[in-house]
């Protein structure tokens, strides 16, 4: 297939809008006292293993029905196969095969790290089923989620070598060398270029990992689609998936971080490094003093978000330590700077990224390590469907977090020390680009996040988060009306204002119609 025409990239060619704030805040971070967290990358494996053990209980588990407090169970739905992970509430929805694949990959990565050896047999069953599913790519009636688990399957393959024969590994590798253009769903073989978004990035990272591990890998496929993704980054290095959810900005940046770590060195590496640098720096200013990543849009209350950010920041810590990121006095130069020697690396900036990653992982411990069963989202509701974002079932978003923590473990360089983070230093207010319509204020351990033009299907306009470093954080406080009866209004901390009609509308109800975003919200809050 010919390479599609490259749309003119605009935003990443502009100077970094947050340059001055980033420079000022990071200067304060360098001078701030910082007590070490005492955390190592083993925490990532602790979290991943706890989740994997919890999910393993639901492998082909007809007898393991969900507790009644989890909500109505549909575990009888679908046709089970040997090794399948059956969600305790939703059973086998169409995308459940990706759960089995990610479980196989997470267990494989744990095995390679010397963990969870008693899960090897379950992992082999899941890997066998995942490979069987991928063998149907390019054929009639293929699975529709083929992008979403080859990244984990390829990453976990080596962990199974001691447990299966060489011939089995060889067969698995043959299947994994499938044609990406026809095998993946988010490609030009199935849809127009303008309909391609974050799904495609999973295919790109999977192809690069195949190349790294000698399982084929299609370099032409990668080069074909990266120009599309370049146009979807804003000037802050944030990825604009449909409706600009905060989670999927980080998801794509994490996929691209793994790509670069896996050796991608094609014609697009320079702008990718620049986009990832900006996005990671912006995310530092959005992090809560509790360590949590920001809310906003689809999939924003799951622990996979912190796992994703941890991987992005661990990769950036490596980049900074090795001189792949310009020193902050140079960060306003819009284009990528040539790499310098490792001796010229910015150890302080590397330490900021390192500590931010660790604090993100630490923020999940009470829900994953201390709760029984583990929780896949930021609440202690029974882990069924109550209070859960649609599409985020327990096993799927649970095992996804486990796999992402395994990737963060691999991205982590333990030779890098820590430096205080912007979330700890505070003293700033920062606004995202209008596409993401968020305002963050952090000072003296307190933090608020304001959504100035919420996606009303997921959030409410107004103050959706208030955190304080010494208090345990709650779920985001902005709630969409669509979660309730349609007669109920969205809920958040927000102003109301009088209109000539005599109605007192709430800013929480303002969504896409509030086009002036932050300026209008500032007017309302100050009036």
Q: For position 165, what pLDDT does the model report?
A: 92
Residue 1 lies in a domain: no
Closest to 196 measured CA to CA, from 223, 220, 228:
228
Q: For position 499, what pLDDT does the model report?
A: 52
Q: For position 81, what pLDDT does the model report?
A: 74
* Pair (312, 173) in one structural domain: yes
Separation between Cα atoms, residue 285 and residue 447, nearest integer Å = 11
Q: H helices within 187-303, ranges in order?
A: 198-212, 219-230, 246-261, 269-286
* Pair (461, 402) in one structural domain: no
Domain at 223, CATH number: 1.50.10.10
**Model confidence, pTM:** 0.88
Kindly tell me the burial class for residue 483, based on how many C-beta atoms sit within 10 Å of its own C-beta (0-12, 13-18, 19 or more): middle
Residue 270 lies in a domain: yes
CB 250 within 8 A of CB 201: no
* Pair (411, 263) in one structural domain: yes
Q: For position 3, what pLDDT does the model report?
A: 53
Kindly tell me the burial class for residue 139, based on how many C-beta atoms sit within 10 Å of its own C-beta (0-12, 13-18, 19 or more): exposed
Residue 407 lies in a domain: yes
CA atoms within 13 A on the CB side of 296: 33
Separation between Cα atoms, residue 527 and residue 515, nearest integer Å = 19
Separation between Cα atoms, residue 200 and residue 17, nearest integer Å = 27
Q: Is the dihedral of CA 116, 117, 122, 123 positive or negative?
A: positive
> Structural domain of residue 465, as residue ranges?
454-526
Residue 445 lies in a domain: no
Residue 4 lies in a domain: no
Q: For position 94, what pLDDT does the model report?
A: 74
* Pair (363, 511) in one structural domain: no
* Pair (149, 78) in one structural domain: yes
Q: For position 148, what pLDDT does the model report?
A: 96
User: How many Cβ atoms sit within 10 Å of the Cβ of residue 37?
Assistant: 15
In tens, the pLDDT along 356-399 reads 999 999 999 999 999 999 999 998 888 777 777 776 789 999 99
Q: For position 337, what pLDDT does the model report?
A: 40
Separation between Cα atoms, residue 440 and residue 449, nearest integer Å = 5
* Pair (400, 458) in one structural domain: no
CB 5 within 8 A of CB 318: no
Q: For position 388, what pLDDT does the model report?
A: 78
User: How many Cβ atoms sit within 10 Å of the Cβ of residue 154?
Assistant: 26
Separation between Cα atoms, residue 47 and residue 208, nearest integer Å = 26
* Pair (240, 309) in one structural domain: yes
* Pair (392, 478) in one structural domain: no
CB environment 378-410: b (16+ within 10 A), e (fewer): beeebbbbebbbeebbbbbbbbbbbbbbbbbbb
CB environment 224-259: b (16+ within 10 A), e (fewer): bbbbbbbbbbbbbbbbbbeebbbbbbbbbbbbbbbb
Q: With H, G, I as helix, E, B as strand and everything else as coil, classify residue 379.
A: coil
Domain count, the chain: 2
SS3 per-residue string spanning 169-200:
HHHHHHHHCCCHHHHCCCCCCCCCHHHCCHHH
What is residue 498's DSSP assignment? Answer: -
Q: For position 130, what pLDDT does the model report?
A: 96
Residue 448 lies in a domain: no
Q: With H, G, I as helix, E, B as strand and everything else as coil, classify residue 487.
A: coil
Q: Is the dihedral of CA 59, 131, 216, 273 positive or negative?
A: negative
CA atoms within 13 A on the CB side of 495: 12
* Pair (81, 204) in one structural domain: yes
Ranges of residues in the chain whose predicted pLDDT is under 70: 1-9, 61-80, 325-345, 391, 474-527
* Pair (235, 381) in one structural domain: yes
* Pair (124, 266) in one structural domain: yes
Q: For position 488, what pLDDT does the model report?
A: 46
**Residue 79 backbone phi and psi in degrees, to 5:** -105, 120
Residue 74 lies in a domain: yes
Q: For position 405, what pLDDT does the model report?
A: 99
Q: For position 478, what pLDDT does the model report?
A: 53
Q: For position 380, what pLDDT does the model report?
A: 87
Q: What is the Cα 421 distance to its own chain's centre?
A: 20
Residue 6 lies in a domain: no
* Pair (458, 404) in one structural domain: no
């Amino acid at each position: 297939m010919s390479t599609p025409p490259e749309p003119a990239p605009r935003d990443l060619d502009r100077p970094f809008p947050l340059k001055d704030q980033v420079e000022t805040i990071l200067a304060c971070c360098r001078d701030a006292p910082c007590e070490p967290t005492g955390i190592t990358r083993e925490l990532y494996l602790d979290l991943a293993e706890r989740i994997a053990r919890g999910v393993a209980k639901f492998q082909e588990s007809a007898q393991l029905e969900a507790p009644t407090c989890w909500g109505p169970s549909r575990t009888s739905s679908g046709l089970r196969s040997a090794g399948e992970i059956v969600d305790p509430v939703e059973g086998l929805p169409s995308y459940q095969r990706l759960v089995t694949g990610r479980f196989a990959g997470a267990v494989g990565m744990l095995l390679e790290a010397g963990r969870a050896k008693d899960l090897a047999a379950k992992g082999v069953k899941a890997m066998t089923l995942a490979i069987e599913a991928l063998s149907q790519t390019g054929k009639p009636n293929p699975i529709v989620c083929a992008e979403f688990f080859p990244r984990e399957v390829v990453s976990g393959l080596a962990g199974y070598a001691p447990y299966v024969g060489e011939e089995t590994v060889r067969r698995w590798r043959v299947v994994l060398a499938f044609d990406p253009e026809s095998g993946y769903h988010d490609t030009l073989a199935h849809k127009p270029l303008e309909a391609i978004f974050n799904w495609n990035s999973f295919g790109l990272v999977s192809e690069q990992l195949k190349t790294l591990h000698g399982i084929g890998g299609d370099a032409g496929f990668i080069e074909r689609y990266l120009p599309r993704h370049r146009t979807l980054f804003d000037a802050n290095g944030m990825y604009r998936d449909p409706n600009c959810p905060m989670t999927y900005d980080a998801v794509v940046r994490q996929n691209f971080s793994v790509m670069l770590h896996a050796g991608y060195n094609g014609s697009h590496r320079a702008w990718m490094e620049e986009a990832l640098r900006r996005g990671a720096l912006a995310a530092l200013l959005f992090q809560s003093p509790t360590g949590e990543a920001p809310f906003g849009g689809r999939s924003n209350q799951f622990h996979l978000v912190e796992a994703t950010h941890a991987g992005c920041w661990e990769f950036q810590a490596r980049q900074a330590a090795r001189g792949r990121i310009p020193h902050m006095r140079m960060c306003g130069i819009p284009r990528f700077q040539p790499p310098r020697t490792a001796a010229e690396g910015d150890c302080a900036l590397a330490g900021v990224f390192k500590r931010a990653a660790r604090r993100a992982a630490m923020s999940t411990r009470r829900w994953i390590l201390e709760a029984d069963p583990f929780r896949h989202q930021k609440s202690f509701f029974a882990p069924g469907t109550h209070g859960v974002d649609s599409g985020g079932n327990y096993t799927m978003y649970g095992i996804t977090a486990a796999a992402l923590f395994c990737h963060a473990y691999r991205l982590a360089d333990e030779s890098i020390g820590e430096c205080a983070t912007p979330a700890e230093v505070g003293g700033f207010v920062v606004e995202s680009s209008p596409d993401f319509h968020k305002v963050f204020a952090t000072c003296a351990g307190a933090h608020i996040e304001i959504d100035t033009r919420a996606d009303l299907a997921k959030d409410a306009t107004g103050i959706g988060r208030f955190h304080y470093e010494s208090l345990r954080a709650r779920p985001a406080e902005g709630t969409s009306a669509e979660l309730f009866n349609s007669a109920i209004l969205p809920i958040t901390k927000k102003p109301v204002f009088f209109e000539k009609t005599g109605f007192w509308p709430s800013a929480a109800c303002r969504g896409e119609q509030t086009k002036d975003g932050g300026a209008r919200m500032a007017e309302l809050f100050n009036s």
